[in-house]
């Protein structure tokens, strides 16, 4: 991708960084992708959100980071962003911003937050493994292992849109038609309900009279 951006100079890589620390459990490791583009000599934009990783959903707090390789571009970018902020978002939330600044600027609080992020990462990874293990026991002919190769809060189940709709309409298991679900919202009971629902729709499809 970075090679494509170097060839097409009008393209500026724009990253949505909403789940930093969740993918690998380590913030620095999750940030490596940005350094790859910077070291290739590319200007980049990063939309960083604290809403999910610090549980301040209602506050919608974050930051738009711009990395410019020249001082001239940096000044132009800053002026443009300041004008956009004044015109479209003049009254930002302060409570969450102060809360997050306090955590990040207090060493023992920042360390505690890093530990909690790692625990969230491990919990999600564990839920993925449990989900796949239980899906495999259904003997359904699908490659469930693909779920393990995905990272973060969400995953795409290898289901067809008609199968996803059946899960919702018949068993009140709500997911997008592309199979996208929130792994973080699962627990052991919900995993059992999901797996049983999937087992039933495949049983009905293969034996429609049952």
What is the CATH number for 86? 3.40.640.10
83 and 163 fall within a common domain: no
pTM for this prediction: 0.81
- Confidence band (pLDDT; 50, 70, 90) for 132? very high
Confidence of residue 55 (pLDDT cuts 50, 70, 90): confident
Query: How many structural domains comprise the chain?
Result: 2
| Interval 189-198 mean pLDDT | 95
Exposed, middle or buried by CB within 10 Å (0-12, 13-18, 19+), for 129? Answer: exposed
The CA angle 50-51-55, to the nearest 5 degrees, is 105
Residue 41: per-residue pLDDT: 86
For residue 210, pLDDT over 90 is answered with no
Which residue, 73, 105, 137, sits at the end of a domain?
A: 105
pLDDT band at 112; cut points 50, 70, 90: very high
Same domain, 59 and 121: no
What pLDDT is recorded for position 141?
Answer: 87
Per-residue confidence (pLDDT) for residue 191, from 0 to 100: 96
Under the banding of pLDDT at 50, 70 and 90, the label for residue 154 is very high
Provide the residue range defining the domain that includes 138.
111-206
| CA distance readout (Å), 58 to 17, 102, 176 | 18, 18, 23
Q: Running DSSP on this structure, what letter comes out for residue 168? A: H
Burial class (CB in 10 A: 0-12, 13-18, 19+), 193: middle
């Amino acid at each position: 991708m970075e090679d494509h951006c170097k060839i097409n100079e009008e393209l500026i890589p724009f990253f949505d960084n909403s789940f930093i620390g969740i993918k690998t459990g380590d913030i620095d490791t999750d940030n490596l992708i940005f350094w790859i583009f910077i070291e290739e000599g590319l200007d980049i934009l990063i939309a960083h959100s604290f809403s999910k990783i610090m549980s301040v959903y209602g506050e919608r707090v974050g930051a738009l980071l711009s990395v410019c390789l020249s001082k001239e571009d940096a000044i132009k970018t800053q002026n443009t962003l300041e004008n956009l902020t004044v015109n479209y978002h003049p009254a930002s939330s302060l409570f969450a911003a102060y809360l997050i600044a306090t955590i990040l600027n207090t060493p023992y609080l920042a360390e505690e937050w890093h530990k909690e992020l790692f625990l969230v990462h491990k919990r999600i990874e564990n839920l993925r493994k449990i989900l796949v293990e239980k899906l495999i026991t259904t003997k359904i002919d699908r490659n469930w292992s693909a779920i393990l190769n995905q990272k973060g809060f969400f995953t795409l189940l290898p289901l067809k849109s008609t199968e996803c709709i059946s899960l919702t309409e018949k068993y009140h298991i709500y997911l997008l038609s592309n199979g996208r679900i929130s792994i973080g919202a699962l627990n052991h009971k919900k995993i059992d309900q999901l797996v049983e629902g999937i087992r039933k729709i495949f049983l009905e499809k293969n034996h429609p009279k049952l």
